[in-house]
Structure 1
Amino acid sequence: MDQTVKIQKLPSGLTVLVEEMPVRSAAVGFLTGFGSKHEKNFPGGIAHYIEHMLFKGTLRRSKADIAEQIDAVGGRINAHTGKEYTTYFSVVLDKHFELALDVLSDMYLNSAFAETEIELERNVILEEINMYEDAPDEKIHDLACQNIWNGHILGNPIIGTEKSVSKITRADILNCLKDFYTPDNTIVAVAGHVPAAEVFQMVEAKFDGFRGKRQTLAEEPVKIVPGVKIAKKDTEQVHLCLSTRGVSYQSADRLTLSLLSSVLGGSMSSRLFQNIREKKGLVYSIYTYPTYYLNAGLFTLYAGTQLKNSRQVLDLALKELTLLKQNGVTPVELQRAKEQIKGHLVLNLEDSSSRMSRLLKSLYNYGEIHTVEEIMQKVDAVTGDDVQRLANEIFIKEDLQLTAIGNFAKGGFFQELDC
């Protein structure tokens, strides 16, 4: 547990974290445990819709006020919706911290949700969906998630669909807020040049009167659906995602999977990049990444290539999976992967914004804040045998799912998957 982080839980259930830093900035963020996987009783995309709406005016600020007040002090304000939570955050000079906290808390607690703004933003989000449809290199990842978790809400697109977004009403939004925007489902994190004692007092004052209890939802187990799904589209490239079962945030193999991904396709020195792009010139982009959730996970391999090369690229990628299962990783590869992960960890914590984000996500995902040293020790403890064992557990025929977008003239382009 990181003892430099001060934590206080208010009587309402709201949790506040503060990490003091010797910098000239201050970052404040709110996390609410409401994302697209919690939309069972609401139209899809409503979590993302609410994120947009919090910027559209409060009972005492117009939407222009929100933007202008942060811009006027050289700050930044933004938000992000995920499958399991939504975050709102602002970064300012330390002397403007109270303003940032006031603006964010006003948005979080007092947004007006005017009908006119709801309709205006509906059009914006529908345009966002249309833009997304025109970006197959981005859409492929959502399609892959939908296909491998076919029918499970965790596979649904965060942004929603044209049909679901068109159905969202003001009453839906207010009911979501009542069910999920509650103190026991909210984390406030602050990092930067601000005294923890003062932050606790200010947050408690801003959230005075914030009440409610989170709606409990039963979570259905996630099941893998293997196979091949082709989406025909007139594109210049074929976009491929080969997915399989991953691990959750709670798994002891989380860092092992990160190291496996680093060796296989996590960098320019990885096997896939070197053997398929550099040696054969068959792709511009090829990489792997793990995705972690509280109770599930995925491992995904992406490649973009010409239609005529797509089967060869897939075969070469499957061959790399087989070799990793059979022969494991070399000591040099493993050490390089460990240094990459440790380097990214440290470099990503160089500013107050990244520290604040780490506090929010660590507490939500793990229930505690580990020190950088503790994480590095866990990374160093992973062995080559651990990586090879995990490769043999997840790279199996029964769990492989291929999603492809491209200008395919006929079906049956990809044969049975195996590695």
Structure 2
Amino acid sequence: MQHYELFTLANGLRVAVEPLAHARSVAVGIWIGAGANDERRGEAGAAHFLEHMLFKGTLRRNGRELAAWMDRIGGEVNAVTGRETTTYYAWVLAEYWVEALELLAEMLLESRLDPSDVERERQVILEEIKGDDDAAEQRVMADFDQLLWGSHPLGRPITGTRRSVAGLSWQRLVALRRELYTPDNAVVCLVGAVDPGAAREQVARLLGGWQGTRARPRPGPPVPRPGLRVRRRSIDQVHLVLGGPGPGLGDPALYSGMVLGTILGGGNSSRLFQRIREEEALAYNVYSFHEAYRHAGVMGVYAAVRTEAAGRALALIRAELERLAREPVSAEELERARAQLKSSLLLGLESVPERMHRMGEQLTLLGRTVPPEQVVARIEAVTAADVQALAGRLLAGPQTLAAVGPIRREDLLGA
């Protein structure tokens, strides 16, 4: 059961506080309702770049002093840019939660965004992008997204490309913060050993003067498309991603997608793990994935296999998808997937930062929280017919295949 207080400051900032009697720590998060999907053409990587810049110093402290403050209160202070959100968060001992909130508020409202810092951090991000490009799993996922979503922001890497990041100006970052970092577009979450009254007082003190309204419309839904891309590289394995559009956050089939993904490639007993790894020894790493966004979703399978096995692995993945659409899953498989999903959810609620992240994401994207009991009930309500229907829908939709490794396009066309 989740019990929290939700209130809104005069400036439109929503604040959620969940006290936990057993906790000795507090997780604090400031959630911005914008991420890479809110970037315009020519801005790829700007949301991620801006997130980096908030750690480079404020009007009162330079970057080194800010880092020393973070280390002094201990715990964890970090940020993450997603497709639809950007989160600045801290997880600290209870005695430091006010300082953690002060730190995040100062970064948010008083970041100096110095042009010289922008140029220096640009080089850091370019190195980050090079590292992602060198990692075949990251590279093939990026190729898959670009193929499936095309020119829509979902098709661009969150970090941007070398070209786009090189072209981002200081003025663009300043404009992005002004247009998207506004109180009506944000949520503050505090979870753990914290008193709601004290939290209300401190958030109002530190963020009650934050002004502005979101000045950029949200992007429309993407149009998925089929495609095939092979990026030849002299490496030891072929990295494959096969998938297509899946249920988004508002889709009635959302929970069916969670169950289907678990059965297909969500654990050691999943069909693909057993067939491709345990029975045929074609791969060490094979899994399914499902990402749900406001207006779209994606489902797919990743596998890293030896070169000569790529065609066979791809054929087995397709065969399992077709079997899921043709035959109802067994009662045993269905119950095992439900149990796995329920355990993952409920065990995650044992973690203070996990509770904060779950609450913040839901309030930011949905405008409400979904009680764990309701999630469990919806998982339990998924039937074999629901799974079969969704598998058929996925097969009937556009299929996208991306591959990276020592392989040719024609080697995959007949698989």
TM range (shorter): over 0.9
Contact 2:34–2:86, Cα closer than 8 Å, also in 1: yes
Shift of residue 44 of structure 1?
1.1
- Mapped partners of 2:287, 2:208: distance in 1: 47
Q: Which letter maps to 1:5?
A: Y
Determine the C-alpha separation between the residues in 2 that align with 1:416 and 1:33.
Answer: 43
Is 1:16 matched up with 2:15?
Answer: yes
1:414 maps to 412
User: What secondary structure, in the 3-state scheme, does the structure 2 residue paired with 1:191 have?
Assistant: strand
Taking structure 2 as the reference length, what is the TM-score of the superposition?
0.97
Q: Are 2:13 and 1:7 aligned?
A: no
Summarize the Cα distance change of 1:42–1:229 in structure 2 as closer, same or farther, 3 Å threshold: closer
Distance, in Å, in 1 between the alignment partners of 2:86 and 2:409 is 39
C-alpha distance in structure 1 between counterparts of 2:326 and 2:61, whole Å: 61
Please say if residues 144 and 241 of structure 1, whose CA atoms lie closer than 8 Å, have aligned partners that are also in contact. Answer: yes
For 1:414, give the aligned amino acid.
L
| TM-score, normalised via structure 1 length | 0.96
Alignment of 1:155-170 (within 5 A): 155-170=155-170
Aligned to 2:217: 217
Label 1:41 to 1:303 Cα distance change in 2 as closer, same or farther (>3 A): closer
Deviation, structure 1 residue 219 = 2.5
C-alpha displacement at 1:65, in angstroms? 2.1
CA distance in 2 between counterparts of 1:10 and 1:373 reads 29
The answer to whether structure 1 residue 200 and structure 2 residue 211 are counterparts is no
Q: Deviations over 1:367-404 (max 9, x none)?
A: 211221121111111111111111111122x5111100
202-211 vs 310-319, which deviates more? 202-211
Q: 1 CA distance for matches of 2:178 and 2:70? A: 28
Q: Which amino acid aligns with 2:386?
A: D
Contact 2:290 2:297 (C-alpha < 8 Å) held by counterparts: yes
Alignment of 1:324-335 (within 5 A): 324-335=324-335
Deviation at 1:55, TM superposition (A): 0.4
Hey, what does 1:103 align to over in structure 2?
Answer: 103
The residue type paired with residue 413 of structure 2 is: Q
SS at match of 1:251: coil
1:244-293 residue CA offsets vs partner (Å, 9 max, x unmatched) = 11011111211110000000100011000001110010111111011110
Kept in 2: contact 1:263–1:334 (CA 8 A): yes
- Percent pairwise identity: 35
2:348 counterpart residue number? 348
Which residue of structure 1 lines up, in the alignment, with residue 367 of structure 2? 367
* 1:41 shift after superposition: 5.5
Equivalent AA in structure 2 for residue 404 of structure 1: A
- For the Cα contact (< 8 Å) 1:272–1:287, is it kept in 2? yes
Other-structure match for 2:317: 317
Q: Following the alignment from structure 2 to structure 1, what is the Cα–Cα distance between the partners of residues 245 and 239? A: 20
> How many angstroms apart in 2 are the aligned matches of 1:159 and 1:262?
28
The separation in 1 between residues aligned to 2:345 and 2:274, in whole angstroms, is: 24
Partner deviation per Cα, 1:157-190 (whole Å, 9 max, x = no partner): 1000111111112211110111000011111100
Corresponding position of 1:190: 190
Q: C-alpha deviations, 1:55-75, integer Å up to 9, x for none? A: 000011221222222222322
* Structure 1 position 216, deviation (Å): 3.4
Query: Equivalent residues in 2 for 1:62-101 (5 A)?
Result: 62-101=62-101
- Residues 83 and 218 of structure 1: is their aligned pair in 2 closer, same or farther, counting only changes over 3 Å? closer
Aligned 8 A contact 2:237 2:307 in 1: yes
Alpha carbons 1:42, 1:172 under 8 Å: kept: no
Q: Are 1:279 and 2:284 matched, yes or no? A: no
- Shift of residue 38 of structure 1? 0.8
- Superposed CA deviations along residues 4-36 of structure 1, whole A, max 9, x for unmatched, are 111011111111001001211001001111211
Please give the alpha-carbon distance, in whole angstroms, between the structure 2 residues aligned to 1:41 and 1:271.
40
Distance change >3 Å, CA 336–CA 110, structure 1 → 2 = same
2:154 counterpart of 1:154: yes
Give the 3-state SS of the residue equivalent to 1:311 in structure 2: helix
CA distance in 2, matches of 1:261, 1:197: 42
Q: Indicate conservation of the 8 Å contact 1:241/1:404, yes or no.
A: yes
**Is contact 2:4-2:17 (8 Å) kept?**
yes
SS in 1 for 2:345: helix
Q: State how far apart, in whole Å, the 2-side matches of 1:253 and 1:121 are.
A: 42
The structure-2 alpha-carbon separation of the partners of 1:27 and 1:140, relative to structure 1 and needing over 3 Å to count, comes to same
Equivalent in the alignment of 2:403:
404
AA aligned to 1:147 is: L
Report what 2:232 is aligned to: 232
- The aligned residue for residue 174 of structure 1 is 174
Deviations 1:80-104 (A, max 9, x none): 0011111010011111111000000
Cα distance in 2, alignment partners of residues 252 and 186 from structure 1: 27
Aligned to 2:116: 116
Q: What is the aligned residue count?
A: 414
Shift of 1:332: 0.4
Provide the secondary structure at the position in 2 that maps to 1:356: helix
Contact 1:228 1:414 in 2 (8 A): no
One-letter amino acid of the structure 2 residue matched with residue 261 of structure 1: G
Shift in alpha-carbon separation, 1:218–1:47, aligned structure 2, 3 A: closer
Secondary structure in 1 aligned to 2:411? Answer: coil
- CA separation in 2, counterparts of 1:194 and 1:18? 8
Q: Deviations over 1:130-166 (max 9, x none)?
A: 1111101122112111111112121111000111111
Structure 1 residue 42, shift from structure 2 partner = 5.2
Deviation of the 1:221 alpha carbon: 3.1
Cα distance in structure 2, aligned partners of 1:373 and 1:58: 42
Quick check: 2:36–2:84 contact (8 Å CA) kept in 1? yes
Per mean C-alpha deviation after superposition, the further-off stretch among 347-356 and 88-97 is 347-356
Matching residue's letter, 1:292: A
Q: Is the 8 A contact 2:143 2:229 kept in 1?
A: no
Q: Deviations over 1:323-359 (max 9, x none)?
A: 1111121100110100100100011121211111011
Moved more, 339-348 or 138-147: 138-147
Alpha-carbon separation, structure 1, partners of 2:380 and 2:391: 18
Q: Which runs of 5+ in 1 are unaligned?
A: none
